C-alpha cells in the first residue's frame, strides 16, 4: 500500500511537466506582422458593413455575377449588387 502511494505521488503532475517541457522546447510563437494585422482589421471592418449580403445572385455592370446586399442609404435600406 505504501509503495502505491509513493508511485502515485511520483506520477502526479507528470503530464503537466511534460506539457511544460514540450512548450519550452517548441520555442516562441511568432505573431503576424503589424501590417498583416492592420490589413486583417481593415478587411474585418469592410466585411462588417457587408454583413447584409443575401444568397441571391445578381449581374454586376461589368458582366460578372455578384450578390445582392441590403445596405442603408439616405436613411432607407436599398438592395444593391456587390462583388461576392
pLDDT digits (tens, 9 = 90+) for 32-44: 889 988 888 888 7
Nine cell digits for residue 47: 466585411
The domain spans of the chain are 54-84
Pairing assessment for the beta strands 76-82 and 53-59 based on DSSP bridges = unpaired
pTM of the model: 0.38
pLDDT digits (tens, 9 = 90+) for 46-69: 666 555 778 889 999 999 998 888
Q: How far is CA 77 from CA 36, 52, 54, 71, in A?
A: 33, 10, 13, 5
Amino acid at each position: 500500500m505504501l509503495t502505491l502511494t509513493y508511485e502515485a505521488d511520483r506520477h502526479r503532475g507528470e503530464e503537466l511537466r511534460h506539457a511544460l517541457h514540450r512548450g519550452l522546447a517548441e520555442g516562441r510563437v511568432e505573431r503576424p506582422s503589424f501590417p498583416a494585422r492592420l490589413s486583417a482589421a481593415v478587411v474585418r471592418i469592410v466585411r462588417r458593413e457587408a454583413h447584409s449580403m443575401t444568397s441571391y445572385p445578381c449581374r454586376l455592370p461589368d458582366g460578372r455575377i455578384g450578390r445582392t446586399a441590403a445596405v442603408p442609404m439616405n436613411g432607407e435600406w436599398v438592395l444593391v449588387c456587390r462583388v461576392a
